[in-house]
A and B are shown apart, each in its own frame.
Chain A
């Protein structure tokens, strides 16, 4: 069996790459897939924190590449899912410690055993991004519905196309339906109009994401969360299911209904 390498990238920092990677990893595992997530952000690791596995790190990506650790030893099993593993980034080194060829070699080994290898790419367009891009079969680009994030996503997509990995698929993160309605935020249509990429997920803004990240229990595990459900839908689309996009616009509807009730209608 040969697994698929999916790189999660963005260009701009802080748009939710790591959150997306953690949640996709968990969703895919909950769908019964064997998954390994790799934190390629060497020097600025935090995928382990978001997944709640920080205190279990013994070896990291650089240890594997430089031969101090066997692949198996560095892989950390998730607390809830037996088929979900994390390969953490080194905290003390920088991106130059790993080369694109190292990543290809590593992922080729992992493909043998796993259905999905997810790579959390660092922000930027330099070596770290090249490391994450080189082994990718598919690239998911995370962006926020704002002009600067879309601009950087566009830049990244250009580089992905130039590397023949393209064009990739788009995850629009932190969309606020009410702001879009008022014309204060780019809509998913606006983003598509500029980038021209297939949208594989639209994640609504959700406070639960932040508290989930802080507590190390990704939001996908919270059935109350709309963002969690949206990430789950992305995972199902990644494995090839045809999942309709959810309606993100119902909260004002509920409010209006309440107002309607109060008015005695």
Chain B
């Protein structure tokens, strides 16, 4: 019965919390709080993806959920929902959202006959469609695309790749969790610090290189930057 209301499981470098879509919001959030408090140490600092299914969650409810997590040192980094209301609430709270649903028991027949290439199936990502200014941070379990600049003082942290369609001047970390095949690309590559998996580089000081689109990747145990023209 308890497990029905709230399910918590580990994914990549964060936690996926699925909340019952039928029980009252109050009892669901109460139980969530209790569950987290049981293992406060273990959960502290985690990035949270919350799965809300088809339940329409108004802004005030979602904001209290966000506050509930933040009070316990957790960051609400993604809201998954099939409801437009919930997704709108998330957008107005500046929380990334997608309508991806937890894979239900897949239909086995087509899988057997035509195995889907995981690359074609696509990976989860976040698209941010304006300039990411100082003080803002984007965390993602997947890839991050910024359609705008990443200004000094802003941070992008992704398990996957980071694509900046604009000037990259802030802090970026791709391949968090150790994926050395992750890449970072930008139309103007001058990050204050750039990390891929465990590797770190800073932009050469003072030099004004020719501005061109570039890609950063790990090769021979170091980060290199290649131009793509």
Contact B134 A152 (CB under 8 A): yes
Which A residues lie within 8 Å of B131 (CB)?
Answer: 196
Given contacts A194-B151, A194-B152, contact A155 B94 (CB under 8 A): no
Bound Cα distance from A19 to B152, whole angstroms: 28
Q: Across the interface, which residues of B come within 8 angstroms of A252, CB to CB?
A: none
Given A194-B152, A194-B169; A155-B130 close (CB under 8 Å): no
Q: Decide: A158 and B169 in contact? CB cutoff 8 A.
A: no
Contact: A155 with B149, CB < 8 Å? no
Instruction: Known A162-B94, A194-B169; judge A154-B151 contact (CB<8 A).
Output: yes
Query: Chain B: which residue is nearest A160 at the CB level?
Result: B133
- Residues on A with beta carbons closer than 8 Å to the beta carbon of B178: none
- Taking a contact as CB atoms under 8 Å apart, the answer to whether A154 and B94 are in contact is no
Tell whether B35 is near chain A: CB-to-CB under 8 Å. no
A81-102 contact mask (Cβ, 8 Å, vs B): 1 or 0: 0000000000000000000000
Say yes or no: A158 contacts B136, CB within 8 Å: yes
Whether A45 is near chain B, meaning CB under 8 Å from some CB there, is no
CA distance A231 to B131 in the complex (A): 29
B94 with A158: CB separation less than 8 A: no
Interface size on B, residues (CB 8 A): 13
B135 at the interface (CB under 8 A from A): yes
Closest CB in chain B relative to A38 CB, distance in Å: 26
Residues of A within 8 A of B130 (CB): 161
Residues of the B chain whose Cβ atoms lie less than 8 Å from the Cβ of A155: 133-135, 153
Q: Which parts of A221-257 form the interface with B (CB within 8 Å)?
A: none
CB distance from A206 to the nearest CB of B (A): 29
Whether the pair B134, A158 counts as a contact (CB closer than 8 A) is yes
Please, which residues of chain B bring their CB within 8 A of the CB of A158? Answer: 133-136
In the complex formed, the residue of A with least CB distance to B136 is A158
Interface residues of B in 160-219 (CB under 8 A from A): 167, 169
Task: Kindly list chain A residues whose C-beta atoms are within 8 Å of the C-beta of B169.
Answer: 194
Cα distance A158–B133 in the bound complex, in angstroms = 6
A157 at the interface (CB under 8 A from B): yes
Asked if A151 is at the interface (CB within 8 A of a chain B CB), the reply is yes
- Minimum CB–CB distance for B22 against chain A, Å: 33
Q: Which residues of B contact A152 (CB under 8 A)?
A: 134
Interface residues of A in 73-129 (CB under 8 A from B): none
- Residue contact B152 to A151, C-beta cutoff 8 Å: yes
Interface string of B132-154 (1 = CB under 8 A from A): 01111000000000000101110
> How far in angstroms is the closest Cβ of chain B from A184?
14
- Bound CA–CA A193/B136 (angstroms): 19
- Given the known A-B contacts A158-B136, A196-B131, are A151 and B153 also in contact in the complex, defined by CB atoms under 8 Å? yes
Contacts of A193 in B (CB 8 A): 167
| 8 A-B pairs with the lowest CB-CB distances in the bound complex, closest first | A158-B133, A154-B134, A155-B135, A155-B134, A154-B133, A154-B151, A151-B134, A151-B153
Give B residues with C-beta under 8 Å from A: 94, 130-131, 133-136, 149, 151-153, 167, 169
Q: Can you list 24 A-B pairs, Cβ within 8 angstroms, ordered by A?
A: A151-B134, A151-B152, A152-B134, A154-B133, A154-B151, A154-B152, A154-B153, A155-B133, A155-B134, A155-B135, A155-B153, A157-B133, A158-B134, A158-B135, A158-B136, A161-B130, A161-B133, A162-B94, A193-B167, A194-B151, A194-B152, A194-B169, A196-B131, A196-B149
